[in-house]
Chains A and B, each alone.
Chain A
Amino acid sequence: MKFSMSPAPFLRRKRTTLAIMLELTIALALVWLASIIYYFTIGTNHGLQAILIGIVSTATMMVVEFLFYLPKCIKDGKEAVSKNSELNCFKETMNAMGYKLSHSFGWVSGLILALLLPVGTPLYVVLVSAVIAILVGKLLFGGFGYNIFNPAIVGRIFAQLCFGTSLAYGVEESASGFTAFTGATVTSQLSNNNWMTTGLDIDLWKLLLGNYQGTLGETFTLLILVIGVVLAIRKVIDWKVPVFYVGTLYLASLISGFCGGYGLGSFEYALIQISVGGIMFGAVFCLTDPVTNPTSPSGKVIFAVGAALFTFVIRYFASAPEGVAYSILLMNMLTPLIDRCIKGFTTKKLLPKWGVIGGIMLASMVLGVSSGFVNHEAYDVEYRKQNEFSSVIKKVEDNVYHIEVQQGEKGQIWSKVEMNVTLDLTNRTVTKIEIISYGANGGFGDALLTGGEIKFNTDGDEYTSFPKEKEPIAMAFYDKYIKLESPLAFDEYLNLYSKGNSLSAWSSEAKNVIRVGATYTAMGFIYGVCEVINYAGGAQ
């Protein structure tokens, strides 16, 4: 009698990896479908774009995998033929290829990457990111099961780093119909406002239903939540990772809200924090990737809590508005370390293990507290990074936008401008700029001040006066770009600003326009007008 021994594992469940991955694919396809329907309701071309992004991303990944595995599969096919000459070489090669492709799950990464990109993304950007994602993120590490990083996140971050400026962030209704525009997603608006929801028109229901700007997949928070629960019940994903990730973020945001002086409103504030941006999508679809997770249950908890901490830190303390992708990559990198630290802890020594988790949770709370205080202070002194302008835009009425621009160092505002800008989108001109207030601490602001042309507030600052006749260049600048006796074309502003948004570059250029060193306030005006033009969809 002949005994045959099959390789381990001997105890098998009926569900194979393939079946689990197919369930995940169906879940992702549902989110994709929802986004396609949503974008079709906005406009046919946007709906088509949503379909195309998904197809291009998935197809690119499959093609790259096909080409990568082709030499090996041909070799396998030839070998099979050399053993049994009745077989067809081409057929055998295709069989081997079919097995490779169906066990590499390139389409899952493809769909996730597509859902992580905004609808305005040019298709060649999708293509290049998909190639980098699958090749550098997965195949070069040895294929499915050997990759250190989540391939889709690699692709997303590559797209962010390379094409950050050309990633149009979504669509919004503007005077000239629905247009794609860059920049002001809810996340970046919040980030510009130091994550304070006051003064911003943010509705929790709107966030939950996905009716706002963002990437293709990340906005449908409620749908993702339901799908996440179903997947967790069917054990496609591990419930611990998303629960601890979102839970830690919620807790940290809650504490941050209390310390920021929100009182009972903190609960809503924290809820907004976790439903905005890619948190939910990242938690359910990206963070749970079993290949890049630690293997032990407690390792998974540490992984999730750590990712939440990184997201929190990046969101609150760094200039990037969206921290989810970076935090996932960082934790992917730490996964082997977590696995090694946790090894041996799983059966005995429960105390140290939970001590580590508790410690991290505690750290998150401390972080929340400190960020609450820091945030509060930050809101008071109103500063962003040095030399960087930030702005908050609100639409007052049709074609009229209210914008607040500020720039400076900690505790010191170098430039602060508040104004209403009226645009004429059909003729692409700025028709009226109504200045509400601006800072004057020497230079251009003062030149305007003593010109007696407009009302001002100086916040009680001391200043040196410049009579109007001594500042003819500044006044000419004012007459041309701000007073606007006749409407001025968008391009005039955009060209002036495109000299570079680093102040030194602009400053040297501005020597010809206004006097040296008087550029902060002037640049604030130009920056503000350009932001409004971008916001309204007037930039081309």
Chain B
Amino acid sequence: MDTQKKSKIFLNPLLKENPILVLILGLCPVLGVSETIDKAIGMGMAVILVLFCTNLVISLIRKLVPNEVRIPIYIVIIASFVTMVQMLMNAFTPELAESLGAFIPLITVNCIILGRAEAFASKNSVGDSILDALGNGFGFLIAVFLVAFFREFLATGGWKLSNPFTNSTIFEIRPLADFAIPLFGQNTGAFLTLGIIIGIVTAIRMSSEQRKTLKAKKEVQ
């Protein structure tokens, strides 16, 4: 029972309660960095790291923090970890840090991170909080990667993946480069792609829920 509960904490945010695709939280970085899969993965990793550290620390100090000033304290903790991540990225992955630009410091105000701190880490044990952070972080990574996957393909006709530490290309395929639709590399394309993906996910979710209620009704009868 306990392991089931624990696995639920980790698995639920991946798809069923995905922060981006289902809860529609923290869309700004998804729209901003989903231009290429390189940037998407870099951003996803940064968010996972920050979320992991902040959830860990906030759940450690959850009994010390007075309720009245909890938000400023969370923000300070989040901001310090974001600054650390930014410095690390500037040092080890300078090209990636440059291409992500303002979106790294903006992780501070990402709703997912403050949301998880407020809704989960401040009320649950350290172990659970870490699981929750990983689940939500990877949920974010999955969503942003999904959007970037389609956007890069439509905008450039293929994909390119490079090693952020050495900035060398791991692989690059552009089979449909002649038929690229540059609009999908711009903001309009970001909104369009994200909207359609969220629409499809919602449609699937609703139909499965409908099926479940039908099943439940039949069982009752």
Contact = CB atoms under 8 A, between A and B. Distances in A.
B192 A128 contact: no
Interface in B186-221: 188, 192, 199
Interface of A: 124, 128, 136, 140, 158, 161-163
A124 B183 contact: no
B199 A158 contact: no
B179 interface: yes
A305 to B, nearest CB: 29
B199 A161 contact: no
Contacts, number: 11
Contacts of B192: 136
A158 B183 contact: yes
B181 interface: yes
B199 A140 contact: yes
Interface size grouping (class) on chain B: under 10
Which of A128, A136, A140, A161 has the most chain B CB within a 10 Å cutoff?
Answer: A161
B182 A162 contact: yes
Contacts of A161: 183, 188
A304 to B, nearest CB: 28
Interface of B: 179, 181-183, 188, 192, 199
Contacts of B188: 161
A124 B179 contact: yes
9 contacts: A124-B179, A128-B181, A136-B192, A140-B199, A158-B183, A162-B181, A162-B182, A162-B183, A163-B181
Contacts of B179: 124
A191 B188 CA distance: 27
A161 B182 CA distance: 9
- B interface, over-half SS: helix
Given A124-B179, A158-B183, A162-B182, 8 more contacts: A128-B181, A136-B192, A140-B199, A161-B183, A161-B188, A162-B181, A162-B183, A163-B181
Contacts of A163: 181
B204 to A, nearest CB: 12
A162 B188 CA distance: 11
Contacts of A140: 199
A163 B188 CA distance: 14
Which of A161, A162, A163 has the most chain B CB within a 10 Å cutoff?
Answer: A162
Contacts of A128: 181
A124 B183 CA distance: 15
B134 to A, nearest CB: 35
Nearest to A122: B179
A445 to B, nearest CB: 35
A351 B183 CA distance: 46
A521 to B, nearest CB: 31
Nearest to A161: B183
Nearest to B192: A136
A4 B183 CA distance: 54
Contacts of B183: 158, 161-162
A135 to B, nearest CB: 9
Contacts of B199: 140
A124 B178 CA distance: 10
Which of B179, B181, B182, B188 has the most chain A CB within a 10 Å cutoff?
Answer: B181
B184 to A, nearest CB: 8
A155 B183 CA distance: 13
A534 B183 CA distance: 24
A296 to B, nearest CB: 32
Contacts of A162: 181-183
A162 B192 CA distance: 13
Nearest to A71: B207
Closest 10 CB pairs of A and B: A162-B183, A162-B181, A161-B183, A124-B179, A162-B182, A128-B181, A136-B192, A140-B199, A158-B183, A161-B188
A163 B199 CA distance: 26
Contacts of B181: 128, 162-163
A143 to B, nearest CB: 15
B99 to A, nearest CB: 19
B15 to A, nearest CB: 22
A140 B181 CA distance: 21
